[in-house]
Amino acid sequence: MLQLIAFLLALLGMSIANFSPDPLSFALLCGFTAAILSHLAGLARWWLLIQLLFVPTLVLMLKLNVPSGVYLAAFLVMLAVYWSTFRSQVPLYLSSKRVWKTLEELLPSSASGKRFNFMDIGSGMGGVLTHLSTERPDGNFYGVENAPLPYLLSRLRIRLGNHANCHVQWGSLWTCNLAPYDVVFAYLSPVPMEQLWRKVKQEMRPGTLFISNSFAVPESPPQYSISLDDLHHSTLHIWHM
């Protein structure tokens, strides 16, 4: 809407000034106007750059005469990777190897001789699951992922790596019952944490472990947190249910 308002304002300005600029200059005027409007509307600073460059980039890309199929293909790949991110506000980004290693230490001890169940809600490309399933053959590792391409790639990774104790299903974490799991791991975003905490409290059994990578639960501090010296400065927040 801001882009549309900026376009109409730029058009109005040009017709009042009785001036017809070349397409790129007009696009830059649209971009500056959109960035100013975005600032006034209180959008985060990183949006201003996107708003500034959006129309000028359209004009420059049209000059390149890229076949329209390329745009469609790029859109379809993005769709398959990010799927419903526009709604969930949980995009794909991956836990670091440091996180994988630290999770190993948090899994139930093998001394009990009992198999345990681990769940990664929003399991992405299956990196957490396949790593842990190799390190701990005495556990069952489950994942749920709703974006098609990460889901398919994680299935492939599990099959090629012969991870017999690893299973990923395509679906939403919100319809997945957390009761069977001894450890539930989440790396999502700040947005769903409050709702997720209600689900965790309702479904997870006493004595089990809920671990969130980087995102805390408002008003419900974890029992403890582990800060990691990785690229993202990840922190694992841990709740004993």
31 contributes a contact to ligand SAM by CB under 6 A: no
Find the binding residues for ligand SAM in span 103-132 (CB under 6 A). 120, 122-124, 127-128
Q: Which residue is associated with the tokens 């199929």?
A: 69
Q: Nearer Cβ to ligand SAM, position 55 or 90?
A: 90
CA 72 to chain centre: 22
Q: Nearer Cβ to ligand SAM, position 51 or 123?
A: 123
- Tokens representing residue 52 in the block: 């500034």
In whole angstroms, the minimum distance from the beta carbon of 226 to ligand SAM comes to 15
Residues in a beta bridge with 239: 210
- The whole-angstrom separation of Cα 175 and Cα 171 is 8
Of the candidates 120, 122, 127, 183, the one whose C-alpha atom is nearest the C-alpha of residue 154 is 127
Of the listed pieces 32-40, 57-65, 139-147, 219-227, which binds ligand SAM according to CB under 6 A? 139-147
The answer for residues whose C-beta is within 8 angstroms of residue 26's C-beta and 6 or more apart is 10, 14
Phi, psi angles (nearest 5°) of residue 118: -115, 140
Find the binding residues for ligand SAM in span 61-90 (CB under 6 A). 83, 88, 90
Do the beta carbons of residue 181 and residue 209 sit within 8 Å? Answer: no
147 contributes a contact to ligand SAM by CB under 6 A: yes
Q: Nearer Cβ to ligand SAM, position 26 or 142?
A: 142
Binds ligand SAM (CB under 6 A): choice among 36, 92, 216, 238: 92
Going residue by residue from 149 to 188, which x/- string records binding to ligand SAM, judged by CB under 6 A? -x---------------------xxx------------xx
Q: Check residue 126 and report its DSSP letter.
A: S
Q: Nearer Cβ to ligand SAM, position 51 or 95?
A: 95
Q: Check residue 212 and report its DSSP letter.
A: E
Do the beta carbons of residue 186 and residue 204 sit within 8 Å? Answer: no
212 contributes a contact to ligand SAM by CB under 6 A: no
- List residues binding ligand SAM (CB under 6 A): 83, 88, 90, 92-95, 120, 122-124, 127-128, 144-147, 150, 172-174, 187-188
